[in-house]
Structure 1
Amino acid sequence: MLQRLINSRAVNAVGLGCMNLSHAYGHPPSEKDASRLLLQALEVGVDHFDTAALYGFGANEKLLGKVLKPYRQQIFLASKCGMRGVDGKRVIDGRPQTLRATIEQSLTSLQTDVLDLYYLHRWDKSVPIEESVGELSRMVDEGKIKAIGLSEVSASTLRKAHQEHPIAALQTEYSLWTRNAEISVLDTCKELGCAFVAFSPLGRGFLTGKVADASTLVDGDIRKGMPRFQHDNVQQNQRLLAVLNEMASQLHCTAGQVSLAWLLHQGKHVLPIPGTTNVAHLQENMAASLIRLSAAQLQELNSAFAPQNISGDRYPPATQAEIDTEDY
């Protein structure tokens, strides 16, 4: 399998984002089914697992700890702090004392002594980035984490943090229909030697062609409140799928595989972490690293999915205000 580096460690280029096993997209699978999927992920070659304190308000970390503990030395395990569930609500809190409490809980839940990578899930804008990263650097010194990551931050914030302590990875949304990373942060990661971990690389399911508009989604699915999944925007965006589907037909693969292959062609430091609850989709995702796209095919996709052709913001205003990424 194609491999990429995070903090000088080689992992398979396509990892597994574990959020939807416990969180965000409506009714998560049962613990039995989620556990089965994690074990099957190991079987098909996944060795990079990504979770967070927020996911399932702690349930996701506990799930991974229970299932993956026997395989701990074989996998690259990443989690996140700075955003968690408090009294049933999502809270962003980057104060050092909060990050300290979160790492202790994460290590307990994940049944490990050290994490390979620990992200600041969101930059708490009331706390200087240097202060939050400074606390994470002390965790590195103490052997609780091996490397520091950031999520949903701009190139300028990445540079500030990197001066405080080397940042091994930056994670943000990146896909054919979310190209904000190309404004600056993708190149900044390459310059600084940071891995770029792309979450929602399949456009939260949209690029697979299997997700319609918000009205078809179940209660509790966060996409119901996202502008791009509202009916008028979906109608506009679905027209872009024709190019993707035609290319998939030519290559004898799925639209999702073309989308992941496109990402893998955007730089050797790019590692997508698609999430799924479906074993067949898991196998498809892992096989995407075998697909090679020509320069002409890449250009065709770039043109079809140019930012000006995408209808609707990726987040509603309140959520957009919480993040620090550049925007078109």
Structure 2
Amino acid sequence: MKKRFLQNLEVSEIGMGCMGFSHGYGEVPEETYAVNAIRKAYDFGCTFFDTAESYGNEMFYPGHNEQLLGKAVEPFRKEVIIATKLHINLEECMGISLYDVLCKHIEQSLKNLRTDYIDLYYLHRVNENIPVEDVAESMGRLIKSGVIRAWGLSQVSVDTLAKAHAVTSVSAVQNLYSMLERDCDKDIFPYCLENNIGVVPFSPIASGFLSGKVTVETRFEGDDVRKWVPQLSKDNIAANQPILDLLRSYASQKSATPAQISLAWMLHKYPNVVPIPGSKNQERIVENLGACNVELTNEEFSKLETALDSFEVHGHRGHIETEQTSFGNNWKLVD
């Protein structure tokens, strides 16, 4: 797999979101299956793995996903880039410096991940009561100490990104971006290209819709967050079918899958984009990573862009969220 850079971090051009092994997509697989899935991704060429301190559910406590990832990559830790995320509550900042709060969080994540450093440390969502500039300053201190190599932000506007970047250089922005959610085209991508910042889209296959596997008959069970994804209501699944039909036509021409075409489109469009599709299914994980072998010509890409511009997208969510306004408040803070 080809490599790309998130500022100074070299990663595989497609990464892997690990959340589904702990929560968010209904019943989770057994630990052995999850560990093997992560290792199969590495064997395929994936060197970029994404998790968060909060990934867990009523069965698997927060930190469970970090622990799974840490166990899986321990044999080849130095060969991969680990990204994890933290939330900061105002209450935990009372009587203690923000830097010390971050140190407490990262100490637990380091233990969970079986490592002595974290490559990329995200603020999972901005807390409106804590200035992002203060977070940026503390992240800068962590970078200088060597405990993290780089830091990033998730679900932010370009204004928030610029405020943070002015204090401590931001290496990556993890925002919602896909063929159905293209708001980042307007300002996030231009700003990031200009400032050498990577963009790491989560849900790049639109929560599975762009794979063609989700239909109006699909039922989401248990803790599956797709119950609350606007584009996956029955009405919006039906209304967005023209986009899926377009993908299928390209997939047929390129001997690929619709999901692979959606990822290949993204990779062709921006040199600084590194999508992190998430799945709990080993076959689907390998399929997604296989998008690295699908290349669109300039003409194919141009026609695809023109067609996408002509469609109305139903069920828009948007990429600007805080801890107070997060989509995840419908259930819990998730990606």
Q: What TM-score do the two structures reach when normalised by structure 2?
A: 0.88
C-alpha displacement of 1:217:
1.2
Task: Deviation per CA, 1:23-42: give whole Å up to 9, x if none.
Answer: 21111211111111011111
Match of 1:49 in 2: 49
Instruction: Provide the rounded CA distance (Å) in 2 between the counterparts of 1:299 and 1:168.
Output: 29
Task: Deviation per CA, 1:147-178: give whole Å up to 9, x if none.
Answer: 11111111111111011101011111111111
The secondary structure found in structure 2 opposite 1:147 is strand
C-alpha displacement of 1:70:
1.7
Runs of 4+ in 1 over 6 A off after TM superposition: 315-321
Match of 1:17 in 2: 17
Question: Would the aligned equivalents of 1:214 and 1:230 in 2 still touch at CA under 8 Å?
Answer: no
Whether 1:61 aligns to 2:61 is no
Instruction: Provide the rounded CA distance (Å) in 2 between the counterparts of 1:206 and 1:165.
Output: 36
Whether 1:6 aligns to 2:11 is no
Instruction: Provide the rounded CA distance (Å) in 2 between the counterparts of 1:130 and 1:137.
Output: 11
Match of 1:265 in 2: 268
Task: Deviation per CA, 1:228-274: give whole Å up to 9, x if none.
Answer: 11111111012321111011001111101101100101211111111
Question: Structure 2 regions of 5+ residues with no counterpart?
Answer: 57-61, 92-96, 328-335
C-alpha displacement of 1:225:
1.5
Whether 1:35 aligns to 2:35 is yes
C-alpha displacement of 1:6:
2.0
Residues 205-214 or 53-62, more deviating:
205-214
C-alpha displacement of 1:101:
1.9
The alignment's C-alpha RMSD in Å is 2.5
Match of 1:175 in 2: 178
Instruction: Provide the rounded CA distance (Å) in 1 between the counterparts of 2:23 and 2:304.
Output: 31
Whether 1:122 aligns to 2:132 is no
Identity of aligned pairs, percent?
A: 37
Task: Deviation per CA, 1:178-219: give whole Å up to 9, x if none.
Answer: 101111001111111111111111111100000124861112
C-alpha displacement of 1:321:
6.2
Match of 1:285 in 2: 288
Residues 5-14 or 254-263, more deviating:
5-14
- Give the structure with the larger strand fraction: 1
Q: What TM-score do the two structures reach when normalised by structure 1?
A: 0.90
C-alpha displacement of 1:97:
4.5
C-alpha displacement of 1:96:
4.5
Instruction: Provide the rounded CA distance (Å) in 2 between the counterparts of 1:317 and 1:118.
Output: 19
Instruction: Provide the rounded CA distance (Å) in 1 between the counterparts of 2:47 and 2:320.
Output: 35
Question: Would the aligned equivalents of 1:133 and 1:165 in 2 still touch at CA under 8 Å?
Answer: yes
Match of 1:74 in 2: 79
Instruction: Provide the rounded CA distance (Å) in 2 between the counterparts of 1:305 and 1:221.
Output: 28
The secondary structure found in structure 2 opposite 1:170 is strand
Say if 1:218 and 1:107 are closer, same or farther in 2 by CA, change over 3 A.
same
Instruction: Provide the rounded CA distance (Å) in 2 between the counterparts of 1:315 and 1:221.
Output: 20
Instruction: Provide the rounded CA distance (Å) in 1 between the counterparts of 2:52 and 2:310.
Output: 29
Say if 1:169 and 1:124 are closer, same or farther in 2 by CA, change over 3 A.
same
Residues 314-323 or 54-63, more deviating:
314-323
Match of 1:247 in 2: 250
Question: Structure 1 regions of 5+ residues with no counterpart?
Answer: 87-93
C-alpha displacement of 1:99:
2.7
Whether 1:195 aligns to 2:198 is yes
Instruction: Provide the rounded CA distance (Å) in 1 between the counterparts of 2:304 and 2:260.
Output: 13
Match of 1:276 in 2: 279
Say if 1:83 and 1:212 are closer, same or farther in 2 by CA, change over 3 A.
farther
The secondary structure found in structure 2 opposite 1:157 is helix
Instruction: Provide the rounded CA distance (Å) in 2 between the counterparts of 1:191 and 1:101.
Output: 34
